[in-house]
Structure 1
Amino acid sequence: MSAPTRTLLITMGDACGIGPEIAVAAWAAEQRAGLCLVGDVGVLRRAMAQMGLQLPVAQLESVDQLASVPPHCLPVWQPPGLPNDVLHCEQGRIDARAGAAAAACIEAAVREIQVGHAAGLVTAPLHKEALHAAGVDHPGHTEMLQALATPPGAVPPPVRMMLANPELRTVLVTIHVSLRRAIDMLSTELVLETLRISDAALRRFGIHAPRIAVAGLNPHAGEGGLFGDEELRIIAPAIQQAQAGGILASGPYAPDTVFMRARDAAGHPGEFDVVVAMTHDHGLIPVKYLGVEEGVNVTLGLPFVRTSPDHGTAFDIAGTGRADPASMRAAISMARRLLPR
């Protein structure tokens, strides 16, 4: 059995979406030591039935009981404080109770990591509107985890979102803000910080000298200032400072072609190990276009490992048993590779 320091916690996500279904299906497919689900036991039992699974459930009083779970039993830790009626939330609809339960699972899982009962976190999808309805003051997982990882009175650690599949990796400078605000937020310091975080993370992933391509913001990367000057004023100086620090960053490149150059596929070796993009959709559309089945979201900069599937709650198929756990399995596999040895 895996030691506690190798344990991964899998949160159920929004109970009204496909999170519980892909969580139990991924565990059933893996059935490896050191994996523990965090969520409402009733919701996860229902998810197993919906996915056609027949497995005994071992309800843990604490995560550190994981080592005593018999083989082929689904280990579930239901943290205190979950809404009592979350099982009664209608699947496929936004519900504040589901948002509150998802947030409570994340908070409890982080506490378990902080006390040493687990080393990493794999999060099933949550719904941002349900979080908001529950009064959670964070737009998504990344910002919530950043806050939870910050000791009282301390400065939050700088974090970045990386989306990765077998062919392409992208890291975002800005995340869940409006496009107008994202452009206003850009600064040389923010881009440089992203390059440093990306370089350090990829080195931890085993890439000795990561090749980082930086995508421009404007069409044709500004065309020398004709279509915008952010590349000249903000992005290029950040690249130069990163290069001076030994980081193999280059660009800014035209955002409509750099992702094709970076894509590493059969017969097409990628020119770069990662692309840094200025805004959310600039970076995520190319990766998601290649398919979400093997896509993994990795939060860079946290003091613990965190991954998640590259898709949302899929309310339209929630409860039907048609959810594909492939991306969740890829997220678990990625998290395992990133755990400290």
Structure 2
Amino acid sequence: MVTAPVHKESLAVAGLPHPGHTEFLQALAAEHLGVPVSEMPVRMMLSAPGLATVLVSIHVSLRQALEAVTTERVMDTIRITAAHYHRCGMPDVRIAVAGLNPHAGEGGLFGREEIEILQPVVDRARADGLNVSGPHAPDTVFMRARQGEFDVVVAMYHDQGLIPVKLLGLEHGVNTTLGLPMVRTSPDHGTAFDLAGTGRASAASLLAAVDAAIKMSRLSPS
């Protein structure tokens, strides 16, 4: 499934109880399989040529996003990421975990989330046999991934992961929902109502999303 952009404010005005496609499709898939939504955790992966990042939290306020950085959510994100790449033929995917605080906390000087939450999760994931490292300084980990050191970065919140991807090239960005029982992609941009009807809108990101969905469908049974 390849979805086009939606205007989230319009969804809310219309009364839809989901902030976007990702959460809506999660609810539909859970209902189809007869399981609670809590038993079908999904994550958003944003990718552009040279960089892929998976988000611990999606469409919530920054305050809520910080509260979502828990041992369980970060571990689930790593596992969902590893499972996706395994299905796509990369069982030893190199996963980098970004820190939450500046310089990954500087040994607790700028916050203790890296010490109390992230490092234990990384150690646990490595004990489970996953190729995970971190927590890395968030201001350099995306650059290191683009240089080839990592295959994907687990980002702690929406803008931490999306800003570097969109900076690399919004026209080639693809949003993939991990954790669904199907392949789902979409363009990595919004509705751009100001461009509607002007003949200036670009379909490049949509075409990239279609191409990504085709490739993943060929590689993955789900």
Query: How does the TM-score come out when normalised to structure 1?
Result: 0.62
In the TM superposition, what is the alpha-carbon distance from 1:137 to its structure 2 partner?
A: 0.6
Q: In the TM superposition, what whole-angstrom CA distance separates every residue of 1:217-276 from its partner, at most 9, and x where no partner exists?
A: 00000000000000111111111110011110000001000000000xxxxx41000000
Q: Which of 19, 23, 30 is the matching residue for 1:139?
A: 19
Structure 1 residue 154 corresponds to structure 2 residue 154? no
Structure 1 residue 217 corresponds to structure 2 residue 100? yes
Q: Which residue does 1:98 correspond to in 2?
A: none
Mapped partners of 1:208, 1:194: distance in 2:
16
Mapped partners of 2:117, 2:203: distance in 1:
40
In the TM superposition, what is the alpha-carbon distance from 1:283 to its structure 2 partner?
A: 0.5
Structure 1 residue 338 corresponds to structure 2 residue 219? no
Q: In the TM superposition, what are the counterparts of 1:142-291 in structure 2 within 5 Å?
A: 142-151=22-31, 154-156=35-37, 157-263=40-146, 269-291=147-169
Larger Rg: 1
| SS at structure 2 position matched to 1:169 | strand
Mapped partners of 2:75, 2:121: distance in 1:
5
Q: Which residue does 1:124 correspond to in 2?
A: 4
In the TM superposition, what is the alpha-carbon distance from 1:206 to its structure 2 partner?
A: 2.2
Identity of aligned residues (%): 64
Mapped partners of 1:236, 1:189: distance in 2:
13
In the TM superposition, what is the alpha-carbon distance from 1:320 to its structure 2 partner?
A: 1.1
The residue type paired with residue 29 of structure 2 is A
Q: In the TM superposition, what whole-angstrom CA distance separates every residue of 1:98-145 from its partner, at most 9, and x where no partner exists?
A: xxxxxxxxxxxxxxxxxxxxxxx1000000011011110111111111
Cα root mean square deviation, aligned: 1.1
Does the CA contact (< 8 Å) of 2:22 and 2:44 recur in 1? yes
Give the gaps of 5 or more residues in structure 1: 1-120, 264-268
Does the CA contact (< 8 Å) of 2:145 and 2:151 recur in 1? yes
Higher share of residues assigned helix? 2
| SS at structure 1 position matched to 2:135 | strand
Asked which structure has the greater RCO (Cα within 8 Å, sep 6+), the reply is 2
In the TM superposition, what is the alpha-carbon distance from 1:293 to its structure 2 partner?
A: 1.0
Does the CA contact (< 8 Å) of 2:45 and 2:175 recur in 1? yes
Mapped partners of 1:208, 1:198: distance in 2:
11
Mapped partners of 2:8, 2:28: distance in 1:
17
Q: Which residue does 1:302 correspond to in 2?
A: 180
Query: How does the TM-score come out when normalised to structure 2?
Result: 0.94
Structure 1 residue 323 corresponds to structure 2 residue 201? yes
| SS at structure 2 position matched to 1:255 | coil
| SS at structure 2 position matched to 1:324 | coil
4+ runs of 1 displaced by more than 6 Å? none
Mapped partners of 2:177, 2:57: distance in 1:
13
Mapped partners of 1:205, 1:307: distance in 2:
15
Does the CA contact (< 8 Å) of 2:56 and 2:68 recur in 1? no
The residue type paired with residue 191 of structure 1 is V
Mapped partners of 1:190, 1:212: distance in 2:
16
Q: In the TM superposition, what are the counterparts of 1:7-18 in structure 2 within 5 Å?
A: none
Mapped partners of 2:143, 2:216: distance in 1:
26
